[in-house]
Amino acid sequence: MVAAVVTPAPEAQAADHQPNIILLSTDDQTVSDLAVMANVNRLLTEQGTTFSNSFAPFPLCCPALATILTGQYAHNHGVLGNGGGLWPVGGYDLLDGSNTLPLWLQDAGYQTAFIGKFMVGYNQVVPREVPPGWTEWHAVVGGDYFVSRMFEKSPQFPTGVVNEYKDIYSTDLWSGMAQQIITDRLQDDAPLFLWTSFKGPHNAGPVESDDPPFGTTPARAARHVGLFADEPLPMDPSFNEADVSDKPQEMREKPSLTQADIDYITVLNQQRLEAVLALDEAVRDIVAAIEATGETDNTLIVFTSDNGFLLGQHRVPAGKGLPYEESIRVPLIMRGPGIPQGVVRPEMVATIDLAATFVDAAQAEAGLVLDGVSLLPQAGVTAVRTSRLIVIEAGPRTVDGPMYWRGVRHDRIKYVEWGTGEIELYDLRTDPYEIRSQHANPKYLKVLNYFAAELARLKDCAGEVCRS
Protein backbone atom coordinates (compact mmCIF):
# COMPACT_ATOMS: atom_id res chain seq x y z
CA MET A 1 0.00 0.00 0.00
CA VAL A 2 1.11 3.58 -0.72
CA ALA A 3 0.88 5.89 2.27
CA ALA A 4 -1.74 8.61 1.95
CA VAL A 5 -0.22 12.07 1.63
CA VAL A 6 -1.57 14.62 4.08
CA THR A 7 0.54 17.71 3.36
CA PRO A 8 -1.34 20.69 1.90
CA ALA A 9 -1.45 20.99 -1.88
CA PRO A 10 0.88 23.64 -3.36
CA GLU A 11 -2.16 25.42 -4.76
CA ALA A 12 -3.73 25.59 -1.30
CA GLN A 13 -0.49 26.80 0.28
CA ALA A 14 -0.23 29.56 -2.31
CA ALA A 15 -3.54 31.15 -1.29
CA ASP A 16 -3.10 34.65 0.12
CA HIS A 17 -5.44 33.97 3.00
CA GLN A 18 -7.81 31.41 4.44
CA PRO A 19 -10.73 30.53 2.16
CA ASN A 20 -14.34 30.64 3.19
CA ILE A 21 -15.67 27.08 3.50
CA ILE A 22 -19.26 26.30 2.52
CA LEU A 23 -20.41 22.73 3.26
CA LEU A 24 -23.73 21.70 1.70
CA SER A 25 -24.92 18.28 2.85
CA THR A 26 -28.06 16.40 1.93
CA ASP A 27 -29.78 13.46 3.64
CA ASP A 28 -30.15 9.99 2.10
CA GLN A 29 -29.10 11.16 -1.35
CA THR A 30 -27.72 8.68 -3.88
CA VAL A 31 -25.02 9.37 -6.45
CA SER A 32 -27.53 8.62 -9.21
CA ASP A 33 -29.70 11.53 -8.02
CA LEU A 34 -27.06 13.90 -9.40
CA ALA A 35 -28.38 13.15 -12.88
CA VAL A 36 -31.35 15.48 -12.30
CA MET A 37 -29.34 18.25 -10.60
CA ALA A 38 -28.55 20.55 -13.51
CA ASN A 39 -27.33 23.40 -11.30
CA VAL A 40 -25.03 21.18 -9.26
CA ASN A 41 -23.58 19.80 -12.48
CA ARG A 42 -23.15 23.23 -14.05
CA LEU A 43 -21.89 25.14 -11.01
CA LEU A 44 -20.00 22.47 -9.07
CA THR A 45 -19.20 19.45 -11.24
CA GLU A 46 -18.11 21.49 -14.27
CA GLN A 47 -16.40 24.12 -12.11
CA GLY A 48 -14.75 21.73 -9.67
CA THR A 49 -13.61 18.20 -8.92
CA THR A 50 -15.82 15.15 -8.44
CA PHE A 51 -14.64 12.22 -6.32
CA SER A 52 -16.19 9.21 -8.02
CA ASN A 53 -15.36 6.76 -5.22
CA SER A 54 -16.66 8.55 -2.13
CA PHE A 55 -18.14 6.65 0.80
CA ALA A 56 -19.97 7.06 4.09
CA PRO A 57 -18.08 4.71 6.45
CA PHE A 58 -21.16 4.35 8.70
CA PRO A 59 -24.19 4.93 6.44
CA LEU A 60 -26.58 6.40 9.01
CA CYS A 61 -27.47 9.95 10.02
CA CYS A 62 -25.93 10.51 13.46
CA PRO A 63 -22.71 8.53 13.00
CA ALA A 64 -22.23 10.25 9.63
CA LEU A 65 -22.69 13.76 11.06
CA ALA A 66 -20.39 12.95 13.98
CA THR A 67 -17.75 11.81 11.49
CA ILE A 68 -17.95 15.14 9.66
CA LEU A 69 -17.55 16.98 12.98
CA THR A 70 -14.61 14.90 14.22
CA GLY A 71 -12.80 13.51 11.19
CA GLN A 72 -12.96 10.11 12.87
CA TYR A 73 -14.53 6.75 12.25
CA ALA A 74 -17.54 5.93 14.40
CA HIS A 75 -15.54 3.35 16.35
CA ASN A 76 -13.45 6.29 17.59
CA HIS A 77 -15.99 9.08 18.07
CA GLY A 78 -18.40 6.63 19.74
CA VAL A 79 -21.67 7.55 18.01
CA LEU A 80 -22.73 4.11 16.84
CA GLY A 81 -26.37 4.77 16.04
CA ASN A 82 -29.21 7.27 16.14
CA GLY A 83 -30.12 6.59 19.75
CA GLY A 84 -33.32 4.62 19.23
CA GLY A 85 -35.08 1.94 17.25
CA LEU A 86 -32.67 -0.44 15.52
CA TRP A 87 -29.71 1.77 16.45
CA PRO A 88 -29.91 2.41 20.22
CA VAL A 89 -26.25 3.26 20.79
CA GLY A 90 -25.91 6.78 19.50
CA GLY A 91 -27.48 10.18 19.11
CA TYR A 92 -26.47 13.71 20.01
CA ASP A 93 -25.69 13.05 23.66
CA LEU A 94 -22.94 10.53 22.84
CA LEU A 95 -20.84 13.01 20.88
CA ASP A 96 -18.21 14.94 22.84
CA GLY A 97 -18.95 18.41 21.48
CA SER A 98 -16.09 20.04 23.37
CA ASN A 99 -13.52 19.13 20.70
CA THR A 100 -14.93 19.30 17.18
CA LEU A 101 -14.35 20.97 13.82
CA PRO A 102 -16.10 24.33 14.45
CA LEU A 103 -13.94 24.93 17.53
CA TRP A 104 -10.76 24.20 15.57
CA LEU A 105 -11.85 26.63 12.86
CA GLN A 106 -12.82 29.29 15.39
CA ASP A 107 -9.35 28.99 16.90
CA ALA A 108 -7.97 29.65 13.41
CA GLY A 109 -9.99 32.86 13.15
CA TYR A 110 -13.16 31.64 11.43
CA GLN A 111 -16.74 32.69 11.90
CA THR A 112 -18.86 29.53 12.06
CA ALA A 113 -22.53 29.02 11.25
CA PHE A 114 -24.85 26.01 11.14
CA ILE A 115 -28.27 25.73 9.49
CA GLY A 116 -30.67 22.81 9.30
CA LYS A 117 -30.94 19.24 10.51
CA PHE A 118 -28.55 18.26 13.31
CA MET A 119 -28.14 14.98 15.16
CA VAL A 120 -31.05 12.93 16.48
CA GLY A 121 -31.64 13.81 20.12
CA TYR A 122 -30.51 17.41 19.79
CA ASN A 123 -32.61 19.69 22.03
CA GLN A 124 -33.82 16.73 24.09
CA VAL A 125 -30.96 16.25 26.55
CA VAL A 126 -30.21 19.95 27.06
CA PRO A 127 -32.96 22.14 25.57
CA ARG A 128 -31.92 25.26 23.69
CA GLU A 129 -28.23 24.46 23.62
CA VAL A 130 -25.76 25.78 21.08
CA PRO A 131 -22.96 23.22 20.80
CA PRO A 132 -19.48 24.65 21.39
CA GLY A 133 -17.78 26.37 18.50
CA TRP A 134 -20.67 27.92 16.60
CA THR A 135 -20.82 31.69 16.10
CA GLU A 136 -24.31 31.45 14.63
CA TRP A 137 -26.81 28.61 15.06
CA HIS A 138 -30.12 27.70 13.33
CA ALA A 139 -31.00 24.07 14.12
CA VAL A 140 -34.25 22.17 13.65
CA VAL A 141 -35.97 20.99 16.81
CA GLY A 142 -39.20 19.74 15.21
CA GLY A 143 -41.60 19.89 12.30
CA ASP A 144 -41.70 18.50 8.77
CA TYR A 145 -40.96 19.78 5.27
CA PHE A 146 -43.44 22.65 5.61
CA VAL A 147 -43.12 23.43 9.33
CA SER A 148 -39.66 24.16 10.70
CA ARG A 149 -39.31 24.71 14.43
CA MET A 150 -35.77 25.97 14.90
CA PHE A 151 -33.64 27.03 17.83
CA GLU A 152 -31.74 30.07 16.62
CA LYS A 153 -28.96 32.11 18.14
CA SER A 154 -27.64 34.83 15.88
CA PRO A 155 -27.20 38.60 15.68
CA GLN A 156 -30.96 38.80 15.14
CA PHE A 157 -31.67 36.51 18.11
CA PRO A 158 -28.70 37.11 20.46
CA THR A 159 -30.17 35.32 23.48
CA GLY A 160 -31.49 32.35 21.52
CA VAL A 161 -35.12 31.62 20.66
CA VAL A 162 -37.29 28.87 19.18
CA ASN A 163 -38.97 30.15 16.03
CA GLU A 164 -41.59 28.30 14.01
CA TYR A 165 -41.73 28.80 10.25
CA LYS A 166 -44.92 27.60 8.58
CA ASP A 167 -45.95 27.16 4.97
CA ILE A 168 -42.45 27.45 3.57
CA TYR A 169 -40.60 24.46 2.20
CA SER A 170 -37.67 23.70 4.49
CA THR A 171 -35.10 23.52 1.68
CA ASP A 172 -36.15 26.99 0.52
CA LEU A 173 -36.13 28.34 4.07
CA TRP A 174 -32.68 27.05 4.90
CA SER A 175 -31.31 28.11 1.53
CA GLY A 176 -32.54 31.64 2.22
CA MET A 177 -30.91 31.59 5.65
CA ALA A 178 -27.64 30.45 4.09
CA GLN A 179 -27.78 33.21 1.50
CA GLN A 180 -28.36 35.82 4.21
CA ILE A 181 -25.43 34.59 6.29
CA ILE A 182 -23.21 34.64 3.20
CA THR A 183 -24.33 38.16 2.35
CA ASP A 184 -23.78 39.41 5.91
CA ARG A 185 -20.62 37.57 6.89
CA LEU A 186 -18.51 37.17 3.75
CA GLN A 187 -17.99 40.93 3.85
CA ASP A 188 -16.12 40.61 7.17
CA ASP A 189 -12.36 40.22 7.39
CA ALA A 190 -12.72 36.89 9.20
CA PRO A 191 -13.34 33.90 6.91
CA LEU A 192 -16.60 31.95 7.19
CA PHE A 193 -17.32 28.28 7.73
CA LEU A 194 -20.98 27.63 6.93
CA TRP A 195 -22.58 24.19 7.10
CA THR A 196 -26.10 23.90 5.69
CA SER A 197 -27.47 20.44 6.52
CA PHE A 198 -30.55 19.91 4.36
CA LYS A 199 -33.37 17.46 5.12
CA GLY A 200 -34.01 16.39 1.51
CA PRO A 201 -34.55 13.87 0.09
CA HIS A 202 -35.09 12.06 3.42
CA ASN A 203 -38.60 10.68 3.92
CA ALA A 204 -40.79 13.08 5.90
CA GLY A 205 -44.28 14.60 5.83
CA PRO A 206 -46.70 16.11 5.53
CA VAL A 207 -48.79 13.49 3.72
CA GLU A 208 -49.59 14.56 0.16
CA SER A 209 -52.50 13.63 -2.09
CA ASP A 210 -50.36 11.59 -4.51
CA ASP A 211 -48.52 9.61 -1.82
CA PRO A 212 -48.63 5.80 -2.08
CA PRO A 213 -51.14 3.93 0.11
CA PHE A 214 -48.37 2.62 2.38
CA GLY A 215 -44.81 3.64 3.12
CA THR A 216 -43.35 7.10 3.65
CA THR A 217 -41.96 9.51 1.06
CA PRO A 218 -40.44 13.00 1.11
CA ALA A 219 -42.77 15.95 0.71
CA ARG A 220 -41.93 18.22 -2.20
CA ALA A 221 -42.13 21.90 -3.00
CA ALA A 222 -45.41 22.63 -4.78
CA ARG A 223 -43.59 23.78 -7.93
CA HIS A 224 -41.99 20.36 -8.33
CA VAL A 225 -44.91 18.05 -7.57
CA GLY A 226 -45.52 15.67 -10.46
CA LEU A 227 -42.46 16.58 -12.53
CA PHE A 228 -41.20 12.99 -12.34
CA ALA A 229 -44.60 11.30 -12.14
CA ASP A 230 -43.83 9.26 -15.27
CA GLU A 231 -40.26 8.39 -14.33
CA PRO A 232 -39.69 4.62 -14.62
CA LEU A 233 -38.03 2.87 -11.72
CA PRO A 234 -34.41 1.93 -12.44
CA MET A 235 -33.90 -1.78 -11.89
CA ASP A 236 -30.27 -2.81 -11.91
CA PRO A 237 -29.34 -6.50 -11.63
CA SER A 238 -29.51 -6.38 -7.83
CA PHE A 239 -33.08 -5.08 -7.80
CA ASN A 240 -35.33 -7.64 -6.11
CA GLU A 241 -32.38 -10.02 -6.18
CA ALA A 242 -33.61 -13.45 -7.23
CA ASP A 243 -31.02 -15.58 -5.45
CA VAL A 244 -29.83 -14.40 -2.05
CA SER A 245 -28.44 -17.74 -0.92
CA ASP A 246 -24.93 -16.22 -0.79
CA LYS A 247 -26.06 -13.46 1.59
CA PRO A 248 -26.13 -13.46 5.43
CA GLN A 249 -29.24 -14.83 7.10
CA GLU A 250 -30.75 -11.41 7.68
CA MET A 251 -30.71 -10.77 3.95
CA ARG A 252 -31.81 -14.31 3.08
CA GLU A 253 -34.89 -13.83 5.24
CA LYS A 254 -36.05 -10.83 3.26
CA PRO A 255 -38.96 -11.85 1.02
CA SER A 256 -39.00 -11.06 -2.65
CA LEU A 257 -40.58 -7.73 -3.41
CA THR A 258 -44.27 -7.85 -4.25
CA GLN A 259 -45.89 -5.76 -6.94
CA ALA A 260 -47.22 -3.50 -4.18
CA ASP A 261 -43.64 -3.05 -2.94
CA ILE A 262 -42.45 -2.19 -6.44
CA ASP A 263 -45.31 0.27 -6.91
CA TYR A 264 -44.32 1.97 -3.64
CA ILE A 265 -40.63 2.12 -4.57
CA THR A 266 -41.56 3.57 -7.96
CA VAL A 267 -43.48 6.45 -6.36
CA LEU A 268 -40.81 6.87 -3.68
CA ASN A 269 -38.13 7.26 -6.35
CA GLN A 270 -40.25 9.76 -8.27
CA GLN A 271 -40.91 11.88 -5.19
CA ARG A 272 -37.28 11.72 -4.07
CA LEU A 273 -36.21 13.12 -7.44
CA GLU A 274 -38.79 15.90 -7.11
CA ALA A 275 -37.45 16.71 -3.63
CA VAL A 276 -33.92 16.80 -5.03
CA LEU A 277 -34.91 19.58 -7.44
CA ALA A 278 -35.30 22.05 -4.56
CA LEU A 279 -31.83 21.10 -3.33
CA ASP A 280 -30.49 21.78 -6.80
CA GLU A 281 -32.09 25.22 -6.78
CA ALA A 282 -30.66 25.87 -3.31
CA VAL A 283 -27.17 25.21 -4.64
CA ARG A 284 -27.83 27.62 -7.51
CA ASP A 285 -29.00 30.37 -5.17
CA ILE A 286 -26.24 29.86 -2.60
CA VAL A 287 -23.55 29.99 -5.30
CA ALA A 288 -25.17 33.17 -6.65
CA ALA A 289 -25.03 34.72 -3.16
CA ILE A 290 -21.33 33.90 -2.94
CA GLU A 291 -20.72 35.40 -6.38
CA ALA A 292 -22.56 38.58 -5.36
CA THR A 293 -20.06 39.13 -2.54
CA GLY A 294 -17.08 38.89 -4.88
CA GLU A 295 -15.67 36.03 -2.79
CA THR A 296 -16.09 33.19 -5.30
CA ASP A 297 -12.36 32.78 -5.93
CA ASN A 298 -11.70 32.56 -2.19
CA THR A 299 -14.49 30.14 -1.27
CA LEU A 300 -14.27 26.35 -1.04
CA ILE A 301 -17.69 24.78 -1.72
CA VAL A 302 -18.23 21.12 -0.83
CA PHE A 303 -21.36 19.14 -1.71
CA THR A 304 -22.04 15.70 -0.21
CA SER A 305 -24.59 13.50 1.60
CA ASP A 306 -24.59 11.70 4.94
CA ASN A 307 -25.26 8.31 3.35
CA GLY A 308 -26.78 6.70 0.29
CA PHE A 309 -30.08 4.85 0.00
CA LEU A 310 -31.35 1.48 -1.19
CA LEU A 311 -34.38 1.42 -3.46
CA GLY A 312 -35.22 -2.24 -4.02
CA GLN A 313 -31.67 -3.53 -4.32
CA HIS A 314 -31.09 -6.87 -2.58
CA ARG A 315 -34.84 -6.98 -1.76
CA VAL A 316 -34.64 -3.89 0.49
CA PRO A 317 -37.67 -1.72 -0.36
CA ALA A 318 -36.11 1.41 1.12
CA GLY A 319 -33.27 1.85 3.56
CA LYS A 320 -29.63 2.36 4.49
CA GLY A 321 -27.28 1.12 7.21
CA LEU A 322 -26.19 -1.85 5.10
CA PRO A 323 -22.75 -2.52 3.55
CA TYR A 324 -23.97 -2.54 -0.05
CA GLU A 325 -22.86 0.08 -2.55
CA GLU A 326 -26.15 1.96 -2.79
CA SER A 327 -26.04 2.48 0.99
CA ILE A 328 -22.40 3.48 1.48
CA ARG A 329 -21.63 5.41 -1.72
CA VAL A 330 -22.22 9.19 -1.56
CA PRO A 331 -21.70 12.16 -3.87
CA LEU A 332 -18.70 14.39 -3.18
CA ILE A 333 -17.92 17.46 -5.27
CA MET A 334 -15.50 20.28 -4.42
CA ARG A 335 -15.09 23.68 -6.04
CA GLY A 336 -12.74 26.45 -4.97
CA PRO A 337 -9.20 27.83 -4.92
CA GLY A 338 -6.68 25.27 -6.14
CA ILE A 339 -9.39 22.84 -7.22
CA PRO A 340 -9.24 22.01 -10.96
CA GLN A 341 -12.37 22.35 -13.05
CA GLY A 342 -14.29 19.52 -14.64
CA VAL A 343 -12.04 16.82 -13.19
CA VAL A 344 -13.00 13.40 -11.84
CA ARG A 345 -10.73 11.76 -9.25
CA PRO A 346 -11.13 7.99 -8.78
CA GLU A 347 -9.21 7.69 -5.49
CA MET A 348 -10.92 6.08 -2.50
CA VAL A 349 -12.19 8.87 -0.22
CA ALA A 350 -14.76 9.11 2.55
CA THR A 351 -16.55 11.56 4.82
CA ILE A 352 -13.79 10.99 7.40
CA ASP A 353 -11.70 13.17 5.06
CA LEU A 354 -13.84 16.32 5.24
CA ALA A 355 -12.56 17.59 8.59
CA ALA A 356 -8.95 17.01 7.54
CA THR A 357 -9.61 18.87 4.28
CA PHE A 358 -11.17 21.85 6.06
CA VAL A 359 -8.40 21.98 8.66
CA ASP A 360 -5.84 21.93 5.85
CA ALA A 361 -7.59 24.67 3.84
CA ALA A 362 -8.06 26.84 6.95
CA GLN A 363 -4.45 26.39 8.13
CA ALA A 364 -5.99 25.29 11.40
CA GLU A 365 -4.97 22.68 13.95
CA ALA A 366 -7.19 19.71 14.77
CA GLY A 367 -7.83 18.97 18.42
CA LEU A 368 -8.26 15.26 17.75
CA VAL A 369 -6.22 12.60 16.01
CA LEU A 370 -7.83 12.50 12.58
CA ASP A 371 -8.56 9.24 10.81
CA GLY A 372 -9.02 10.95 7.44
CA VAL A 373 -6.70 12.75 5.06
CA SER A 374 -6.91 16.14 3.40
CA LEU A 375 -8.36 15.88 -0.08
CA LEU A 376 -6.63 19.02 -1.32
CA PRO A 377 -3.57 17.12 -2.57
CA GLN A 378 -5.78 14.62 -4.39
CA ALA A 379 -7.95 17.34 -5.91
CA GLY A 380 -5.02 19.58 -6.87
CA VAL A 381 -3.90 20.35 -10.40
CA THR A 382 -1.08 17.86 -9.95
CA ALA A 383 -3.09 15.19 -8.17
CA VAL A 384 -1.43 13.07 -5.52
CA ARG A 385 -2.46 9.47 -6.11
CA THR A 386 -3.11 7.45 -2.98
CA SER A 387 -4.10 3.89 -2.18
CA ARG A 388 -5.82 2.92 1.06
CA LEU A 389 -8.68 0.90 2.41
CA ILE A 390 -11.83 2.54 3.74
CA VAL A 391 -13.30 0.98 6.86
CA ILE A 392 -17.06 0.48 6.67
CA GLU A 393 -19.07 -0.35 9.77
CA ALA A 394 -22.42 -0.25 11.52
CA GLY A 395 -22.97 -0.26 15.24
CA PRO A 396 -24.72 -2.75 17.49
CA ARG A 397 -28.47 -3.20 17.45
CA THR A 398 -28.53 -3.94 21.17
CA VAL A 399 -26.72 -1.85 23.76
CA ASP A 400 -24.19 -4.53 24.64
CA GLY A 401 -24.32 -6.48 21.39
CA PRO A 402 -21.67 -7.04 18.73
CA MET A 403 -21.15 -4.65 15.85
CA TYR A 404 -23.90 -5.19 13.30
CA TRP A 405 -21.31 -5.53 10.55
CA ARG A 406 -17.90 -4.14 9.68
CA GLY A 407 -15.68 -4.42 6.66
CA VAL A 408 -13.19 -2.81 4.32
CA ARG A 409 -13.77 -1.25 0.91
CA HIS A 410 -10.88 -1.60 -1.55
CA ASP A 411 -11.03 -0.13 -5.05
CA ARG A 412 -11.87 -3.63 -6.30
CA ILE A 413 -12.70 -5.85 -3.31
CA LYS A 414 -15.27 -5.47 -0.54
CA TYR A 415 -14.95 -7.70 2.52
CA VAL A 416 -17.59 -7.69 5.29
CA GLU A 417 -17.90 -9.54 8.58
CA TRP A 418 -21.31 -9.58 10.25
CA GLY A 419 -21.88 -9.73 13.99
CA THR A 420 -23.32 -13.20 13.45
CA GLY A 421 -19.96 -14.44 12.18
CA GLU A 422 -21.15 -14.56 8.57
CA ILE A 423 -18.95 -12.99 5.89
CA GLU A 424 -19.28 -11.53 2.40
CA LEU A 425 -16.61 -10.98 -0.26
CA TYR A 426 -17.31 -9.20 -3.52
CA ASP A 427 -15.10 -8.66 -6.53
CA LEU A 428 -16.56 -5.35 -7.66
CA ARG A 429 -14.67 -5.37 -10.95
CA THR A 430 -16.50 -8.46 -12.17
CA ASP A 431 -19.61 -8.09 -9.97
CA PRO A 432 -20.36 -4.39 -9.44
CA TYR A 433 -23.91 -5.10 -8.27
CA GLU A 434 -22.82 -7.54 -5.53
CA ILE A 435 -24.90 -10.41 -6.84
CA ARG A 436 -22.59 -13.24 -5.80
CA SER A 437 -20.40 -13.28 -2.70
CA GLN A 438 -17.14 -15.12 -3.31
CA HIS A 439 -16.46 -15.97 0.34
CA ALA A 440 -16.92 -19.70 -0.33
CA ASN A 441 -15.08 -19.71 -3.66
CA PRO A 442 -11.69 -21.48 -3.30
CA LYS A 443 -10.26 -19.28 -6.06
CA TYR A 444 -10.68 -16.29 -3.74
CA LEU A 445 -9.24 -17.92 -0.61
CA LYS A 446 -6.00 -15.91 -0.63
CA VAL A 447 -7.93 -12.72 -1.32
CA LEU A 448 -10.33 -13.49 1.53
CA ASN A 449 -7.51 -14.21 3.96
CA TYR A 450 -5.70 -11.03 2.99
CA PHE A 451 -8.72 -8.78 3.52
CA ALA A 452 -9.75 -10.58 6.70
CA ALA A 453 -6.29 -9.74 8.06
CA GLU A 454 -6.63 -6.15 6.88
CA LEU A 455 -9.98 -5.79 8.62
CA ALA A 456 -8.47 -7.22 11.80
CA ARG A 457 -5.75 -4.58 11.53
CA LEU A 458 -8.07 -1.67 10.73
CA LYS A 459 -11.36 -2.35 12.54
CA ASP A 460 -10.24 -0.40 15.62
CA CYS A 461 -7.70 1.79 13.82
CA ALA A 462 -6.98 5.38 14.76
CA GLY A 463 -4.94 8.13 13.14
CA GLU A 464 -2.03 7.13 10.96
CA VAL A 465 -3.00 3.45 10.88
CA CYS A 466 -6.33 4.42 9.29
CA ARG A 467 -4.72 6.84 6.87
CA SER A 468 -2.12 4.58 5.34
Mean pLDDT over each residue of the chain, to the nearest integer? 94
Q: How many CA atoms lie within 13 A of 11 on its CB side?
A: 18
Confidence of residue 98 (pLDDT cuts 50, 70, 90): very high
Q: Which residue has the higher pLDDT, 10 or 57?
A: 57
Give backbone dihedrals phi and psi of 266, rounded to 5 degrees, phi first.
Answer: -60, -50
pLDDT at 4 (0 to 100): 35
Measured CA to CA, the distance from residue 155 to residue 141 in angstroms comes to 20
User: Out of 134-148, 378-392, 412-426, which region has the weakest mean confidence (pLDDT)?
Assistant: 378-392
pLDDT band at 382 (very low <50, low <70, confident <90, very high): low
- Answer for the pair 54, 345: CB distance below 8 angstroms, yes or no: no
* Cβ 307 vs Cβ 64: under 8 Å: yes
Q: Is the pLDDT of residue 16 over 90?
A: no
Contacts of 244 (CB under 8 A, 6+ apart): 251, 252, 254, 314, 315
Stretch 400-426: mean pLDDT:
97
Let me know if 325 is exposed, middle or buried by CB neighbors in 10 A (0-12, 13-18, 19+).
buried
Q: What is the pLDDT of residues 138-163, one digit of tens each?
A: 999 999 999 999 999 999 999 999 99
pLDDT of residue 381: 65
Instruction: Report residue 84's pLDDT band, with 50, 70 and 90 as the boundaries.
Output: confident
| 312-344 pLDDT, tens digit each | 999 999 999 999 999 999 999 999 999 999 999
Burial 163-177 (b: 16+ CB within 10 A, else e): eebeeebbbbbbbbb
Judge contact between 262 and 240, C-beta under 8 A: yes
For residue 67, the SS3 value is helix
Cis omega (within 30 of 0) for bond into 377: no
Count of other CB atoms within 10 angstroms of residue 232: 9
Q: Domains of the chain: which residue ranges?
A: 10-389
Residue type, 401: G
Average pLDDT of the residues in 7-36: 78
Has domain 10-389 been given CATH number 3.40.720.10?
yes
Q: What is the pLDDT of residue 13?
A: 38
Q: What is the pLDDT of residues 37-68, one digit of tens each?
A: 999 999 999 999 999 999 999 999 999 999 99
Distances from the Cα of 235 to the Cα of 201, 223, 256, 268, 442, angstroms: 20, 28, 14, 14, 31
Where does the pLDDT of residue 383 fall: very low under 50, low under 70, confident under 90, or very high at 90 and above?
A: low
Q: Which of these, 50, 186, 136, 102, lies nearest to 362 by C-alpha position? A: 102
Per-residue pLDDT at 111 exceeds 70: yes
pLDDT value of position 187: 84
What is the Cα–Cα distance from 169 to 279, expressed in whole angstroms?
11
